Chains A and B, each alone.
Chain A
């Protein structure tokens, strides 16, 4: 409290860089570095038998170092600038999504890339952050103490639905879910009535059966059946859809309490699990470090995200609070969905485990989220005008 009081006494313009850095929650940063190290070790274990993949762990570490730098840069940008940048960022990204729809590059059956000069960008990734900022900005301007009203949430819904629909069409089911999930968390935070939430839940449950019967194609229905079968422990066709998840379960289960030892997991070492260095990296950790290792990683993440919520709670501005919760929700969605998927609790949709899975995009998105979170932390006492640039 003493530190907060001292910080609040200093105006932003008076701060030195060293002073600002000293204020950062270094414990949180240390935990992020730890997670990335665990990811690098798991990658090393899962790839060292294959000479073609020998460079992956090193590239993972380098990417993390770069992302860490980007996080600090974002963190040091004053929160007021993020507030003013929110709408432009959202609409530019939305325009890029429309651009993808019109002139996008198609790779692997999905149209997600936009060629901007020499580089190909994936606007849907930017949208995760932009949407969070836009919703934060929207509620910062419009949410007042008397606004328990339902209608205030309709524009927010609209802000979510438009990019979500565009991304769904690419198609990119994982990112769509991420946007809807983090957006829903923000609407919930803004105080949507419980009776409406309950109604939405009931409607969702009620529509499951008709959707299964009349909307899904045969092959989709087959996938749902397979998923439900393995969930209830029935034997599934292990050569088909169920193969990956079955092998993942064998890997995780065989880890037991303490795991089979670093680089000793047969499932991982013999390449039994497709995508084991990307989406299914948790199987390597669970197999080789056991229950202790897997829950350890989950606990670390829970601590990081919890810390994020504490930062949100301490923010004096609505924008800061909503932006922080949105960032936490975005990262949390990835973690929860990825782990649930690897554990066979939800159908396999390509969602990576942040900082652990190999892959650049999710790493940058994640670290950018933490950059915003740290920026909120630094600017936690800024009250911020509701009159922005836009």
Chain B
């Protein structure tokens, strides 16, 4: 019986121990609650408060770009757009079809929207159409109220109010591709790189693809801000939290030296011709007009250009995508004769020494022709320049030699890239013996020096360099440097030192250029009058050969332009400065396949220069004074 009692009490004891063990375990759990909630509670509360807060990047407003008078060339505007949220839309197809009844939305666009919406989280919005017209936006704003999940709102979009006018200078922006992103994050730390990657995923974010937009990306972009959003674990935004200190920092503006109206006038003056023009302020080297025509409309690229449209631009034989004034290089032709003449003066050749031109020049067993088939007769340097006598320049070029010619060319600004702070830019070629050995593996032949003398052969230069040459002459040898960014990230690349040009020599060049446009026998004497009742221009014509003229053709009389396929016609060139008596503006004009420098390029240059002077209040006031003082329309101070 006692053992039965033992048995009973052991059972009871073990029941109690079981309960006690459970009690101990429960106490352990309570102890853990004490630790987490009472001792570490404050810390966890902080974490919990920030847990649901996501920092959403808010894209900065990109800096604007202005012309010299503050006219906006690149800015932003508010554009209407429609977007759709998948999870709030009962039937995507029907809703999109409904939208398509009110705004233009083709079937394939609708498919794209549906595909894109399916590829992202159901609460994220998909842009159905951006760049709505005002009417479309007004209509969608009304309709969106009755369409669940559809939203019409405004977003800041990069805009180029002057359209094509500054396409090549400004470039354009586009959504960052993976290539763009790897370029932009090349030198960034991993944190910066991931921030940039996040930023550029934002649908409103764009990056510069070419021109200043690309070169000055860091200046224009600004710093992203953050929006504090309360989100749930799946990333759905519950609400936006207030915060003042997290606003984006807008990008910095850029002021260019260009004059939008002058640019417009210059482009209009080209009409259907393709070509380039550069107008420089001789005082400062500021670029006032930087024309390459035809051009593309950068606005088309902001939201992505269609493949067909892009291909049409690419295949256009007038190369609208190409920056002819900066990236295009042409044989300078006769516009180069001032350089040759300067080299001759430096080499000690007497400018009054005459050379007899009978229409051709013999050297070795070959014949070089003058453009004037009957010849110029006996010409000195001044006459040779204004008549553009090739024979004279064959002769002095041979006397000067290639090395000295190359040296003087470089001092005029040829053969080097002028970094303006935009993408692209080519320096052309200033050939010499070393260059030819490196490029072609052959020594320089003296016969090639003759071609050099008339600006043909391997020599090539961009319209910017031609304008710069003209400006350096008109500045009496001061080695001015071109620039286009007035306020903003000026490139600080050191410009190699060059020996200045002799002012006396430059005066002779100016006299020669004045002769071209204003003296009997000048190749462009009809273009000397700016039509402003006073100031004249001084310039030099040029023709850049696109193909060699064969001996057979020459015998049969060179084919007239109309008979030659346009693409084979010579380029017409003209460099000039004005007013002739007090140079303010230098210009170069290239009319592609325009054939004659005097017939096509010179009138264009004249009209652009006239506009430049007309738009210059200081200059206008001054020449009006001069005109009334001298009492005559001929204000030219040159002999």
Contact = CB atoms under 8 A, between A and B. Distances in A.
Given A189-B18, A253-B43, A257-B41, A339 B29 contact: yes
Contacts of B47: 250, 253-254
A160 interface: no
Interface stretch (B30-38, B196-204, B556-564, B608-616): B30-38
B544 to A, nearest CB: 64
Contacts of B624: none
Contacts of B15: 189, 309, 312-313, 321, 325
A18 B478 CA distance: 120
A286 interface: yes
B45 A332 contact: no
A256 B232 contact: no
A336 B37 contact: no
Interface in B1-30: 3-4, 6-7, 10-12, 14-19, 22-23, 25-26, 28-30
B142 interface: no
Interface in A188-216: 188-191
B32 A343 contact: yes
Contacts of A298: 26, 29-30, 33
B94 interface: no
A116 interface: no
A302 interface: yes
A340 interface: yes
B238 interface: yes
Contacts of B52: 266, 270, 272
B120 to A, nearest CB: 19
Chain B binding surface, main DSSP class: helix
B608 to A, nearest CB: 63
Nearest to B19: A309
B308 interface: no
A123 interface: no
Contacts of A183: none
Given A270-B52, A295-B33, A343-B32, A145 B19 contact: no
A87 interface: no
Interface residues of A, number: 49
B14 A253 contact: no
A291 B37 CA distance: 6
A321 B26 CA distance: 22
B41 A253 contact: yes
Nearest to A248: B36
A188 B14 contact: yes
A305 interface: yes
A343 B29 contact: yes
B89 interface: no
Contacts of B233: 247, 270-273
A286 B42 CA distance: 14
Most B CB contacts (10 A, CB to CB) among A266, A286, A340 go to: A266
Given A191-B14, A250-B48, A267-B48, 16 more contacts: A249-B44, A251-B44, A255-B41, A256-B38, A266-B48, A266-B51, A267-B51, A270-B52, A270-B238, A272-B51, A287-B48, A291-B38, A302-B23, A309-B22, A321-B15, A340-B32
Interface of A: 144-146, 185, 188-191, 247, 249-257, 266-267, 269-273, 286-287, 290-291, 294-295, 298, 301-302, 305-306, 309, 312-313, 321, 325, 329, 332, 336, 339-340, 343-345
26 contacts: A144-B7, A145-B3, A188-B14, A189-B18, A247-B233, A249-B36, A251-B44, A253-B36, A253-B45, A254-B48, A256-B37, A266-B49, A269-B232, A291-B34, A291-B41, A295-B33, A301-B26, A305-B19, A306-B19, A312-B15, A313-B16, A325-B15, A325-B18, A329-B18, A336-B29, A343-B36
Interface of B: 3-4, 6-7, 10-12, 14-19, 22-23, 25-26, 28-30, 32-34, 36-38, 40-45, 47-49, 51-52, 230-234, 238
Pairs A-B, 3 closest by C-beta atoms: A253-B44, A145-B7, A254-B48
